[in-house]
Structure 1
Amino acid sequence: MTLTWSASTGTPAPIGYYLVRTDSSNVAAAACATSPGTTTSALTCTESGIAAGTYAYTVTAVSRSWTATSVPASVTVAVQTPTELVFTTQPSNSTGGVAFPSQPVVAIKDGAGNVITTNVSAVSLAIQTPAGATLSCTANPRSALAGVATFSGCAINKPGSYILVATDGPLTVASASITIGIGPAARLTFSVSPSDSFVNGKFFSQPIVTIQDAGGNTISSDTSSVTLAITTPAGALLGCTANPRIAAAGVATFAGCLINKSGAYTLTASDGSLTPAVSASFTVSAAPTNLAWSGNTTTVCTTPASGTAFALIYNGCSLVLGISAGTFASKLMLADASGSPVTNLGVDLTVTLAPVTGSVSPTTVTIAHGQSVSSVSSTFHPGYGALGPYTDTVTASAPAVISATAKLNA
C-alpha cells in the first residue's frame, strides 16, 4: 500500500521524515524502511507484506535536533483475494519447436482488477487441446513475482492452431489463439536405426533418416543429400547401395548398408549445417559358417547316426534292398564351426534340399530372421537302384554357408 503525507511547515524547515507503525496490540515498528537515523525526504512511501489489520501511522519531521510528530492516522489493511488471471502479454505465432517471439505474461488480480503484488503463487501453462502437440517452457509452472508470472522459452512442437490455458489453483484463463507453422530444416533424426547384423551382411532394418524442423516435423519439400558414416569406425568400413542418399519428401531411405568388421557401432547422419543425428547402437557379429541338421529322425534305419550334425550317416535303411527304403526327416539350423546355433540376424534364409536319386519334401525350408532353426522339417526318401548303388545322400545348401549332408545306406 502507498502512504502519503503533507510537508511540515514552519521554521526551521524539515530535512527528512520517518514513520512508525503501531498495531492493535500497541506494538510499534519502523515503517517504510525509515527510522530516526534513516529518514526520507519524500512525501510518499510504499509498505508491502503487511498482515491484515488496523494500524496507526505517525510521521515525524526532523530538522537537526528538532522533531515534530503528526497525530496518528488509522489505516486498515485488507487481504487481497485472487479472483482472476489475465494474460497481460499474449503468446505470438511461431514455428514448430521455436520459442514464441512474444512470451506469455500472466497477472494475478483481485476483484477490483488490481494486481496482487504480494502474490507469489505458481501459474501453470498448458495447451487447451493438444492433439498430440507438446508445450515446453524454460519453467512451467512459473512462480509469480509481485503478482505477475513471466514465462520464457515457451514453444510448441507441432503445426496447428492452439490456445494456451493458464491455471493457478481454481483460477484459469485462456489466451488468444496462436498459429504454429512448419519451420525451416533444422535437424536430422533416425526414423529407423540399423539392426544387428553379420559381418558383410546387409542390415535387416536399413537406416531411414528424416529431415525435420526444430519441432520434429518432417520437411516434406526437402530433397537434400544425407550422408551416413560410422560414428567411431575403429578400422571398420560402411558400405551402402548409395551414400549420400537424396531425400524424397524429406526422408532419406538407405539400402544395402553393411559393415565389414565385427563390433558395436552407431551411425551418424549429416546434411550440411543441420544438426546431425546418431543412430541407436547395434552389433555386427561373425557370420555363421555352417548349416547343420536339427531334431533329425529316421524310419527303418537300423543303426544310430554317425558323423556330425553337419554330415550324418545312417545304415540299414532298407527293409528289402531296392524295394522298401527308410526315411530321414530334419530341420535345418544355422551354426558356427563348433556346431553351436547362431541366430539369423539377416533376411530370411532359404535352404534348398537336393537328393542324389531319391526325393525330398519340401525342397526348401526357411530359417527366418531372428531364428536359428527352420520352422518346418524336410523329409528325405532315399532312392536305391535294384542293382545298386545302395546309398543316397541329401544335401542342404544356402548362400555363404557350408552345406549339410545326410547319407542313408541300405
Structure 2
Amino acid sequence: MGSGTLRCLIADPDGEYPVALQEGLSNHRFDVTVVHTAEECHAALGETAPHLAFIDLRILEQDFSVLHQPQLEDCETLIMGNEDCPETVHRAIRAGASYFFTKNDSDTFVSDLIADVIAERAPVSENVPPPPPPPGQFGLLRGSSPLMFRLYRTLRKVATGDVSVLLIGESGTGKELAAQTIHQRSTRCDQPFVGVNCGAISPSLIESQLFGHEKGSFSGATSTHRGFFETAHGGTLFLDEITEMPIELQVKLLRALELGVIRRLGSENDIDLDVRIIAATNRQPEEAIADGKLREDLYYRIAQVPVWLPPLRDRAGDKTALAQYFLTQLNEQDGNCAAFTEEALDKIDQMSWAGNVRELRSAVQRAYLLANGNITADLITEEVLSNEGSSEYLRISVGESLEDSEKKLIFATLEANEGNKKATAAALGISLKTLYNRLNDYDTPNA
C-alpha cells in the first residue's frame, strides 16, 4: 500500500452497490476491501483497521458485534440500507456508528463524506512542516480539526430535516453559530431566525416574550405584542441556555410544542405553530434534569437530535489557526499587518482556553490593541473574571491608580464592542476624540 493511502471496508450482502461504491473510492486513493458476510467482516477487521467503513444493516442483523471491534474506534463508520430499521439503526449509533443513510439517494452525501475524510486524514510532511493553514469553514463555524469535521457532517445531516435539535457545549464553543448554520442550510433558510437567551430575560417577562400578550392583559401592557414564537413563524426559534428557563414555563413550552399551538397572554384564541426549535445548553442534560433545571419530558421533546460541540482544548490545530484568522480580520479592518511571533503561537497552542473560541477571540483582540508591531507571547493572556464569573465585570484592586483602572475599563469596553470605537465611546459616555486620545496615550497602534 502506497504512502498516504486510506483504507475502506465495505460490508454488504449485495453485489451491485459495493461495486459502484468501490469505483468511487478507488478514484480517491482508497484501498478498498469488500466483504459480504459478518464472518468475512470480522476476518477483514482482524487484518487491518480501516479509516472508513460502510456496513449494511443486514450485516448487523447477522452479527451486531462487528461494531464492537477495536479496529473501528478511530474509523468513520456508516450504516446503510435499502430501507430504514429504526431499532437497529439507533442501537448502531449508540455503539459508535456515525450515522445511517439509504442507498437509493446517497451519491452527494457519500461524495461529501469522502471529501471530508480525505481532508481529515491528509498526511503532514515530517521533514518540513507546512505553514499554519487557515481554518476550514462550514456555515458560520470555523475549524479543521477531526472533531470539527465530524461536527460539520452531523450538522449537514440534521439541517435538512425538521427535527428539534439540542446543542450541548461549554460557553464559547459556538452554539448560536451552529444554530444559525443549521437554519441557513435548512428549507426554512428564507424565513426568520430568532434567537432568545432564556437566562437574559426576567422570569416575570419571559412568558410574554415567548408567547406574546394582548393589550391590557396585565399592568403595563399598553399594546398587543407578538412573541418570539410568532416572530419566528415559518423559520427557526433558537432557545439559548434552555436550562435557565423557569421550570413552570418549561411546562407551558412543552404543551405548546406538543399541541402545535400557542396562546398570547390575555387571549382566548390559539395560534398555530410553524417553527423549528433549536435549543442549547452549557450543562450536561442529565445533570440539569437531576438538579431540577430541566424537565425530563421537555428534554426528550427538544432533543430529538442532541449534538455535542467540542471544547477548543480538544480541537487539535484549531487554536493557532483560529488565532491567525481573528488577527487577519483585525488587520483587514484597520489596514494593518501585525503578526504573531513563534513564541506567541506556541503559547496559544499550549493554553487550555476555558472560555473556548470566545475567549481566544477576545485575547487576540486585546493583544492586537496592546501590541507595538508584532504580537509577542507576553501579550497573550487569559481573561481575568470577577467573583461573579462574568466577563461583563472587571476586577480592580483597592489602591490601583485611576489611570490603570481607566485603561482597564476602556480596553474591556472595546473588547465587548468587538473593537468598534464609536460604540465604545458611546458606552463610556465620552467623545470619540477623547477615546482616540486615550488610546494614543497607551501607545496603541492604529488608534
Higher helix share: 2
TM-score, normalising length: structure 1: 0.20
Higher strand share: 1
